[in-house]
Chains A and B, each alone.
Chain A
């Protein structure tokens, strides 16, 4: 799901750079375990940040298995169900690894799992590209509030949130630093939102930490 938030101030960090590295290492091991060696795994990231996460996961899988793991990107813009709710969106990049996805285990990678609509679109997009043996989903953060019957196979961190809050994933490749920030949305000052934010405090927070 799109993690972009509009005009929200700096959020409270819930995952720092070393946490993200550890989480990705764990997910990589889980993939190898579940796929019994990850022989036929193809990692497809959903632009923008999912692509970088897929790259990092592929590197970790490569270290574990000693073989290069094919990875690429899958743009879902043309398959979105909310295209007509806004102006035409700029397309992302789709890059399917050379051997394709037919008969392979595709692991979709995204930064935040929210309503599940992005993943629904990704499954449709994947269906037009080939017929994988199975499709699994890895996300860095699962913030709940699903609107479709979709769940993740590998979750970096479960982050119960209120709908008013925003979850912002930052990655070095895009934003210059790693971190997951939880912030109150533009409609801040709402006490109930602040309360919810308190209840999910799970990482040492640094209040007032300057945002780049």
Chain B
């Protein structure tokens, strides 16, 4: 595995399966009387959060602590960032404190990539969500949840049909999931109002549809995305009611799904908007399971990035990551 986790597109099928298999073992630690492993003792993980988050930050914190790493939580509110400190100066401060890994969430697409490639810090960088770009650990935990529910927790997702519904334009979760799930062999279909489909989606490894009813009937998993009103600077759909009627998931639509199919939501949910309470509270909805799986996935990622030898050369990417970097940068610009 590479030294950083910036984009789900950087992961090969073998990388992804290794992370999922490792997470499967990590999940067993949660059943033990002592939910702790000594593996990352003496390593420091910094959670650098420039954007609000509940699930992801707590999940990374729990994962690092279960591996015995020291955790420093940093949120932009109440830090020198509110006094105008730049990302570079914040990064240099963390480097001076000896951070072995920086888990970063940032409103700017591409901030983790900048942090990883600038040479400001020597540790590993894990993208915990950047703007509307990517959120690779969310995609990994979604794949993990699907694999557990549908494939018995083994192998990849070859031939599974997965539908991602809603605000694809603003969703880093959708982007990471499209790359990761297609790498794992799944057939991904995006369903969204035309105004919420990003430009350049033709280059993504997925299908696009505007009709939810025709797609749900042949989906193995339906992933509902949150309508990100805080990122919407224009009228993307006429009314909320019209949106939820055409693109929301209610009990009637869920009944049309195949019997084994699951409903997923990365959270936080807007009940009544993209998902009804009836669906959210049904046993087919994996939202709470996804949170539990998130800790296992993040333990696996931290272990695989930090568990082995010290990075030989600080601030340099392995050749394959360096060659994929221009592509990442291009995507980033496109989405900013």
Which residues on A are within 8 Å of B, measured CB to CB?
75, 78-79, 83-94, 124, 128-130
Contacts and interface: CB of A to CB of B under 8 A. Distances in A.
A101 to B, nearest CB: 11
Interface residues of B, number: 21
B282 interface: no
Contacts of A84: 308-310
A88 B25 contact: no
Contacts of B307: 78, 83, 88-89
A87 B312 CA distance: 11
Contacts of A124: 38
Contact of B33 (A88, A91, A94, A129): A129
Given A88-B303, A128-B32, A128-B34, A83 B308 contact: yes
Interface string B300-314: 000111111110000
B33 A130 contact: yes
Contacts of A93: 25
Nearest to A75: B25
A17 B37 CA distance: 38
Interface of A is mostly: loop
B86 interface: no
A124 B36 CA distance: 12
Given A88-B304, A90-B21, 5 more contacts: A78-B37, A88-B1, A91-B22, A92-B25, A130-B33
Contacts of B36: 128
Interface in B271-323: 303-310
Contacts of A128: 32-34, 36-37
A92 B309 CA distance: 19
B40 to A, nearest CB: 9
A86 B38 CA distance: 17
B22 A79 contact: no
Contacts of B305: 88
Interface in B19-76: 21-22, 25, 28, 32-34, 36-39
Given A88-B1, A91-B25, A93-B25, A78 B38 contact: yes
Contacts of B269: none
A196 B32 CA distance: 46
B138 to A, nearest CB: 22
Contacts of B38: 78-79, 124
B18 interface: yes
14 contacts: A83-B307, A83-B308, A84-B309, A86-B308, A87-B308, A88-B306, A88-B307, A90-B18, A92-B25, A93-B25, A124-B38, A128-B36, A129-B33, A129-B34
